[in-house]
Amino acid sequence: MADQRTEISALGEFGLIDYLTKNIEILNPSTVLGVGDDAAVVDHAGMQTVLSTDMLVEGIHFDLAYSPLKYLGYKAVSVNLSDIYAMNATPTQILLSIACSNRFSVEALHDFYEGVYLACEQYQVDLVGGDTAASQKGLIISVTAAGQVAPDKFVTRTGAQVNDLICVSGELGNAYLGLLLLEREKKIWIETPSVQPDFEQSKWAIEKLLKPTARQDVIEWLATQKIIPTAMIDISDGLSSEILHIAKQSKKGIRLYEDKLPFHAQADELAGKFNLNPTTVAMNGGEDYELLFTIPQKDFQKIAESKLVSVIGFVTDQEKGNKLITTAGQEVPITAQGWQNFG
């Protein structure tokens, strides 16, 4: 496909939609009617429906200098489904809208949709509609995700209780380290195009940024263990920002322990190249899309036996504030220094 270039204008809006959606396969029985009409029809047969929407804007949320379009399509779906999983729900359908300028060809959008369909297959969700439009500059992506959950089994940010354990999936800070690395290499490439970067030792960080995985496996594991979190959120803006959302909306205080934060084995080495330590990166970096949640202490043993999840602290009374206990035993106030839109 890379050697061809078909102008989008050659197909027109509806021809482009037909081209990009001609091979859609319906994966969920709840999808009654998909792409091709004025609206999609879904039937969740007594289940409650969970809805979430998110946007990715070129130059703000991604840089096409180092973001392959196929990976971007996958990421656009994955990060939206992460919000559905953070409600303890199962995603079932998505709507996808894009606006792009004429610097994008049909083949380029084909690559983007390949990533979209790869994510749909992995998470077993159906693309049931959306919109396409022209933009004067750059690429804008909007995804709306729908999911289902048993009646009143959804989990919000408001239910954390005193003495609950604070848990997080995976490793923290990897995506931000990947971003720092790619931005550094981009600057070097602009100044010296002949210099080719070597990412072999840092693929774990770059892949976390460019192709994050929504933690479907964690939600499925919690269900098998009959663990229902009391509060939950996904980490898009950094650990500090997300835990403060739970603290504020649950009206509770927080204690996190620095020596309990989960890092990649090479995180300290890579962070050191940017004069940072992994704790700073974990607390303030974003786009990990791990799940951060609280559970009753009675479920500790089940969590302790899992390799998917780490216990990193506990919930306290609101008047005790929100603190990080350092490895030296100091109490440091937690402040939101992660990603901020319009900042």
- CATH for 133: 3.30.1330.10
Task: Give the pLDDT mean for 32-44.
Answer: 68
Same domain for 79 and 213: no
What is the percentage of the chain residues whose pLDDT exceeds 90?
72
The band of 25, judged by pLDDT with boundaries at 50, 70 and 90, is: confident
64 contacts: CB under 8 Å, gap ≥ 6: 58, 72, 139
Is 158 inside a domain boundary?
no
Is 2 inside a domain boundary?
no
Its pTM stands at 0.88
Q: At what angle do helices 174-191 and 203-210 cross, to 10 degrees?
A: 100
Same domain for 140 and 13: yes
The band of 156, judged by pLDDT with boundaries at 50, 70 and 90, is: very high
Q: Which tokens sit at 275?
A: 């004069």
The band of 195, judged by pLDDT with boundaries at 50, 70 and 90, is: confident
Same domain for 30 and 75: yes
- For residue 38, pLDDT over 60 is answered with no
Question: Among the listed ranges 42-51, 92-101, 203-212, 307-316, which one has the minimum average pLDDT value?
Answer: 42-51
pLDDT of amino acid 39: 53
- Alpha carbons 111 and 114: distance in angstroms, whole number: 5
pLDDT of amino acid 2: 52
Same domain for 62 and 123: yes
Dihedral sign (CA 58, 60, 65, 67) = negative
Is 57 inside a domain boundary?
yes
Domain boundary pick from 149, 174, 190:
149
- For residue 222, pLDDT over 90 is answered with yes
Query: Per-residue b/e over 104-140, b at no fewer than 16 CB within 10 Å?
Result: bbbebbbbbbbbbbbbbeebebbbbbbebeeeeebbb
Transcribe 54-120 into DSSP letters: EEEEBTTTB-TTT--HHHHHHHHHHHHHHHHHTTT-EEEEEEEEEEE-TTSBHHHHHHHHHHHHHHH
Is 1 inside a domain boundary?
no
Same domain for 264 and 180: yes
Alpha carbon separation from 43 to 29, 32, 216 (Å, rounded) = 8, 7, 22
Same domain for 181 and 80: no
**β-pairing, 252-257 with 126-134?**
unpaired
Same domain for 175 and 91: no
Alpha carbon separation from 258 to 38, 58, 161, 264 (Å, rounded) = 51, 34, 21, 14
User: Of the candidates 187, 29, 176, 46, which has an alpha carbon nearest to the alpha carbon of residue 93?
Assistant: 29
Task: Give the pLDDT mean for 57-67.
Answer: 92
The band of 343, judged by pLDDT with boundaries at 50, 70 and 90, is: very low
Domain boundary pick from 149, 181, 213:
149
Structural domain that includes position 131: 8-149
- For residue 32, pLDDT over 60 is answered with yes
Is 17 inside a domain boundary?
yes
Transcribe 136-200 into DSSP letters: SSSEEEEEEEEEEESTT----SS---TTPEEEEES-SSHHHHHHHHHHHHHHHHHH-TTPPP--G
The band of 13, judged by pLDDT with boundaries at 50, 70 and 90, is: low
| Residue that has been written with the tokens 């609950």 in this structure | 164
Same domain for 241 and 96: no
- Alpha carbons 169 and 242: distance in angstroms, whole number: 13
Same domain for 214 and 69: no
256-306 pLDDT, tens digit per residue, is 999 999 999 999 999 999 999 999 999 998 899 999 999 999 999 999 989
pLDDT, averaged across the chain: 91
Is 209 inside a domain boundary?
yes
pLDDT of amino acid 342: 39
Same domain for 139 and 176: no
pLDDT of amino acid 37: 57
- What is the number of structural domains in the chain? 2
Is 230 inside a domain boundary?
yes
Give the domain CATH number at 176: 3.90.650.10
The band of 28, judged by pLDDT with boundaries at 50, 70 and 90, is: confident
Same domain for 139 and 171: no
Is 191 inside a domain boundary?
yes
Same domain for 248 and 124: no
